[in-house]
Chains A and B, each alone.
Chain A
Amino acid sequence: MLNKIWFTMICIGIIIAAINGRMEEVSVAILESAEDSVMIVVKLIGPMALWLGVMKVAEKAQLTKVLANLFKPLAKILFPEVPKDHPALASIMMNLSANFLGLGNSATPLGIKAMQELQQLNSGKRSASNAMCTFLVINTSSVTLLPTTILALRIGAGSAQPTEIIGTTIFATFCSTVVGLIANRILIKISGLREI
C-alpha cells in the first residue's frame, strides 16, 4: 500500500507542478526534505538513546514484567497474538502511558522499542504483523489525555481557558482510536485471506 501511495504522491506532484509552473518550489522542497529528515533523526537519536537506556535498566530490574502484568487484561483483547509475558507488552504499555501524558518525544522511542520486540514474534520480517498494525493504529489515532503542545500554544495565544479543550480532545481521541481499531480488525479479516 505504501508503495502505491508513495509512487502516486510523487508522480501526481511532479505532473501538477509542471502544469502549475511550480517546478522550482518542488525542486527546493525535495532537497529541503532530505535535510529535514536528517535533522529529525538527529533530534530523535538523543531521546531514543535515553529511553532505550532507561528501559534496559527497567528490564534488568524485572520492572517491565510488572508492567506487562498490569497490561494483561487489555493486551489479551488488543494483541491476542502476543504471548502474555512477552517483553513487548511492557514497552507497549510504557509507550501508551507516555502518550497519555502527552510526552511526545519520549513516547516515540518507547514505541520503537515495542516494535522491535514485536518483530521478534513476526514470521515475515519485511511485512507488518497483525499486532504491529494494531499498535500502529493506536499510535496514529493518538491516545493523548493531556495535549501538552496544544495547551502551551493556547496559553501563548492568551486563551482565557486554555484547558477547556481537554474534554473534547479526549472524546475525539477515544472515537478515533475505537474506529481505527475496528477498521483494523475488519482489514485484518479481509487481508488475512491473501497475505501472510
Chain B
Amino acid sequence: MINFINHFSQWAIPLIIFSILISAFIKKVKVYEVFTDGAVEGIAVGVKILPYLLAMLMAISIFRASGALDIILNLLSKPLSTFGIPKEVIPLALIRPLSGTGSLGVVTDLINQYGPDSFIGRLASTMQGSTETTFYVAAVYFGAIGIKNSRHAILAGLVADLAGFLAAVFICRLVFG
C-alpha cells in the first residue's frame, strides 16, 4: 500500500504534464510559447499575494508570541477533556486554522512524544490530514484577486475545521479505541 502511494505521488505530476503536452502538441498548439506565456503570470500573482499574506502572518504571530493563544488553550483544555477530547491535541486544533508550519510542528512533537501508533499519534495525524490552514488559504486565494471583503467564508471555514476536529476524535475513538 505504502509503495503504491509513493509510486503514485511520484508519477502523478510528470504524467499530468506529459499527457497535457502530448495532446496539445497533436492539436498543433505551440506548446513552448503558450507555456511561457502562462508562466509569466505567476510572478504577478506572487507579488499580489504578498500584502495579504503579510497582514495575516503578522496578526497570527503577534497573537501567538504574546501568549494570548496559550490563555485560550488553558481556558479550553479542562472543559474539552471532560467531553473525552484528549487535552494533548487541543493545541493542535487551535493552531491548525492559523498556521500550517505551526501545526506541523505540533503534530511532529505529539508523534515523537507519544509514538506514531499511539492513540494521540493517530488522532493528531488524522486531524492534521483532514483540515487545512483556513486563514492562510483565505489570505492567498482572496489576496491573489484583490478581494478585501471575504464575507462569510472564514466563518464557514472555521465551522468546517471544528467539524473536522470533532469528526476526527469520534472516528479515532471508534477505530483505534
Q: A interface vs B, CB < 8 Å?
A: 1-3, 5-6, 9-10, 12-14, 16-17, 20, 22, 25-26, 28-30, 32-34, 36-38, 40-42, 44-46, 48-58, 60-63, 101-103, 106, 108-109, 111-112, 115-116, 118-119, 125-128, 132-133, 135-137, 139-142, 144, 146-151, 153-155, 157-165, 167-181, 183-184, 187-188, 190-191, 195
Decide: A159 and B62 in contact? CB cutoff 8 A: no
Within the complex, the shortest CB–CB distance from A189 to chain B, in Å, comes to 10
B49 at the binding interface (Cβ < 8 Å): yes
CA distance A10 to B8 in the complex (A): 43
CA distance A40 to B146 in the complex (A): 18
Decide: B2 and A155 in contact? CB cutoff 8 A: yes
CA distance A30 to B54 in the complex (A): 10
CA distance A92 to B35 in the complex (A): 20
Q: Which 4 A-B pairs have the closest CB atoms?
A: A180-B160, A56-B38, A49-B42, A176-B164
B147 at the binding interface (Cβ < 8 Å): yes
Decide: A168 and B144 in contact? CB cutoff 8 A: no
Within the complex, the shortest CB–CB distance from A170 to chain B, in Å, comes to 8
Contact (A52, B163) CB under 8 Å given A10-B62, A57-B31, A158-B116: no
Residues of chain A within 8 A (CB-CB) of B156 are: 133, 136-137, 180, 183-184, 187
Classify chain B's interface size: 35 or more
Within the complex, the shortest CB–CB distance from B36 to chain A, in Å, comes to 7
Residues of chain B within 8 A (CB-CB) of A173 are: 129-131, 164
Decide: B55 and A160 in contact? CB cutoff 8 A: no
Within the complex, the shortest CB–CB distance from A164 to chain B, in Å, comes to 7
B75 at the binding interface (Cβ < 8 Å): no
Decide: A16 and B66 in contact? CB cutoff 8 A: yes
Contact (A54, B38) CB under 8 Å given A28-B65, A125-B146, A184-B152: yes
Residues of chain B within 8 A (CB-CB) of A45 are: 42-43, 45-46
CA distance A50 to B156 in the complex (A): 31
Per-position binary interface string of chain B over residues 75-110, scored 1 when its CB falls under 8 Å from any chain A CB and 0 otherwise: 000000000000000000000010000001001100
CA distance A56 to B35 in the complex (A): 6
Decide: B130 and A140 in contact? CB cutoff 8 A: no
CA distance A82 to B45 in the complex (A): 23
Cβ-defined partner of A159 (8 Å) among B55, B57, B104, B116:
B116
Contact (A153, B107) CB under 8 Å given A16-B68, A128-B147, A137-B153: yes
Within the complex, the shortest CB–CB distance from B31 to chain A, in Å, comes to 6
Residues of chain A within 8 A (CB-CB) of B49 are: 41, 44
Decide: A116 and B145 in contact? CB cutoff 8 A: yes
Cβ-defined partner of A163 (8 Å) among B2, B55, B157:
B2
Contact (A147, B35) CB under 8 Å given A106-B13, A172-B171, A180-B157: no
Decide: A56 and B147 in contact? CB cutoff 8 A: no
CA distance A15 to B151 in the complex (A): 27
Decide: B65 and A57 in contact? CB cutoff 8 A: no
Residues of chain A within 8 A (CB-CB) of B104 are: 149, 153
Decide: B160 and A140 in contact? CB cutoff 8 A: yes
Cβ-defined partner of B167 (8 Å) among A28, A136, A171:
A171
Within the complex, the shortest CB–CB distance from B81 to chain A, in Å, comes to 19
Residues of chain A within 8 A (CB-CB) of B57 are: 33-34, 36-37, 40
Decide: B63 and A13 in contact? CB cutoff 8 A: yes
Per-position binary interface string of chain B over residues 52-72, scored 1 when its CB falls under 8 Å from any chain A CB and 0 otherwise: 011111111111111110010
